[in-house]
Amino acid sequence: MADKDLPLISVIVPAWNEEKYLKTLLPRLIAQDYSNYEIIVIDNNSKDNTAQVASSFGVKVISEKKQGTSYARAKGFEKARGEIIVRTDADTLPEKGWIRSYYEEFQKYPEAVAISGSSEFYDGGLVLKFISRLFFLWIIYITRVFMGHYPLNGPNFAVRKKVVEKISPHTNDSIIHEDMDLSCHLRVYGEVKFDPNLVVKTSSRRLFQDPLFIFRYTLKSIITYFLHHPSHHLHKVK
């Protein structure tokens, strides 16, 4: 039951053919210990039963016909009613206090426009899990050095609704790192914070489904860096 004294938080989940993973994610989201939140699954032209599975859990399901994570995420931002919007992936396993942690982070940092945590893999074995936690941290900190601000980590970040309404991020996911791009647009309006202790478990499936995943990830990050470096002064406050 919603607590009127707590701000409404929206959790958005872009989903393309994710019926398998939603069956694990949604029970975890429904069991969160924060009492005033909504869950929105954005069905991005799925060919499986993504929409039906999400609906069976009683969460809000909306459709985005433009293909791509950036489009799905933008539709989620648009439809979210909460003053804080938390973003995750269908193959992520958040802990019970995950949403509450973001509420507490924004209470701690009222000047922040966005807050991000880190990730680690829950599959692929113990060695990969350990390496992944170091890898995600390294990526976040090295990006902070080069960009001058923290990036956002796709399966694990939150933004203020009033700020995302002011920006127009890029949508070409084939060449742009969408979360890094989003952080660049948001940074114009305030601080992007990072908490290394706010960790969620996520799947390593992309590494095995796409042998060139690391190469593509790195290339998109480099392109986004050169497009958005703060010295270019590309984004102005409206």
Q: Is 237 exposed, middle or buried (0-12, 13-18, 19+ CB in 10 A)?
A: exposed
Per-residue pLDDT, 4: 64
Give a yes or no: residue 194 inside a domain: yes
Give a yes or no: residue 238 inside a domain: no
Give a yes or no: residue 43 inside a domain: yes
pLDDT 10s digits, 203-237: 999 988 888 888 998 999 999 988 876 555 555 54
Per-residue pLDDT, 1: 39
Tokens 């992520």, residue located: 92
Per-residue pLDDT, 233: 52
Give a yes or no: residue 111 inside a domain: yes
Going through 127-202 in order, the beta strands assigned E by DSSP cover 157-160, 191-202
DSSP string, 28-92: HHHT-S-SSEEEEEEE-S-SSSHHHHHHHTT-EEEE--S-SHHHHHHHHHHH--SSEEEE--TTE
Going residue by residue through the chain (238 aa), what tens digit of pLDDT does each one get? Answer: 356 689 999 999 999 999 999 999 999 999 999 999 999 999 999 999 999 999 999 999 999 999 999 999 999 999 999 999 999 999 999 999 999 999 999 999 999 999 999 999 999 899 999 999 999 999 999 999 988 899 999 999 999 999 999 999 989 998 999 999 999 999 999 999 999 999 999 999 998 888 888 899 899 999 998 887 655 555 554 4
Nearest to 102 by CA among 37, 28, 20: 37
Helices 213-228 and 126-147: crossing angle, nearest 10°? 20
Nearest to 188 by CA among 164, 212, 171: 164
| CATH code of the domain covering residue 37 | 3.90.550.10
Per-residue pLDDT, 3: 64
Collapse the DSSP code of 227 into the 3-class scheme (helix H, G, I; strand E, B; otherwise coil) and give the result: helix
pLDDT 10s digits, 50-62: 999 999 999 999 9
Per-residue pLDDT, 214: 86
Give a yes or no: residue 143 inside a domain: yes
Q: Looking at the 3D structure of the chain, how many domains does it have? A: 1
Give a yes or no: residue 25 inside a domain: yes
Enclosing domain of residue 173:
9-232
Give a yes or no: residue 4 inside a domain: no
2 vs 19: CA distance, rounded Å: 27
Per-residue pLDDT, 238: 47
Give a yes or no: residue 154 inside a domain: yes
∠ Cα 67 73 78 (to 5°): 115
Residue 53 phi/psi, 5° resolution? -65, -45
